[in-house]
Chain A
Amino acid sequence: MMSAVKTLTNWYELPWWVGLKEVLVLFGFVLGMISGLIGVVTYRRNTAIRAQDVRANQIRRTYEVMVSYPSAIRGKVLIVTQQLEQGLSVIDELRQQGEDVGQLNGALLRIVMESDLIELLHVLDPYGFLLGNQDYLFTNEVLNTFASEVRRVLLN
């Protein structure tokens, strides 16, 4: 019995075992740090992928809503979008070429007047739609933009 205890104590205090224990503790710390880092990175990547899926779903649902509109309205949306986009790009170009900013703002105002943007907004009623379907308020800027308008409409 005593010799067994002596042998075991001898084995426990052998220099190669003590050295190995020290090395394991050291490397254990380093490996623990690395595995923690990998875990954090994986969690963040998975969160990003989940957010991407949610956003893609929202975009797909919005596309389905847009496609379900009657073709006359879709034609009008196309024309107004084209007018505004082309007008804006040409005005941007002219601003880079150094025209007067006040004149360009006046030109932009007249372009918006000529395109039937307001009729289109009356037909589409985006505020009413977003009031009824708040799931589609997924852009922070859109949310901030419409919040005060919604308050104004509801309080008046």
Chain B
Amino acid sequence: MTQTSWLDSREATVAHIHELLKQPMTDASNLEIVNQMRAQSGDRPLTMTEYLDVLEKSKRGIHSYDEVPQTKPFFQRLRQALKNSRNAFKATMRKS
């Protein structure tokens, strides 16, 4: 109870996350963290190719926990892609 953690207030959480954002987030370090979590739950570690594969599939909407391991039909993907590009455009405009 006498320890402070980043849960105490919202500013502490924001500061903690800014510290995390300063770390270098390469694919290798992310893979390291993912493998640590997998070791905690008893899964085998992933290799870099497998990890990049899973990332690509997640971006395309294929998840390992889905019953139907395939992408959604064409027009849904089209709408999602348009939404993504619209959001990216808005983010860039907001930043500058």
Q: Please report A residues at the B interface, Cβ cutoff 8 Å.
A: 79, 82-83, 86-87, 90-91, 94, 97-99, 102-104, 106-107, 109-113, 118-119, 121-122, 144-145, 147-149
Contact = CB atoms under 8 A, between A and B. Distances in A.
A119 B7 CA distance: 19
Given A104-B21, A107-B21, 16 more contacts: A79-B7, A86-B7, A86-B13, A87-B17, A91-B17, A94-B17, A98-B94, A107-B20, A107-B25, A109-B30, A109-B33, A110-B20, A113-B37, A144-B65, A147-B67, A148-B67
B41 A110 contact: no
7 contacts: A90-B14, A98-B92, A98-B94, A110-B33, A118-B41, A144-B67, A148-B64
B85 interface: no
Interface in B42-78: 64-67
Contacts of B40: 118-119
Contacts of B20: 106-107, 110-111
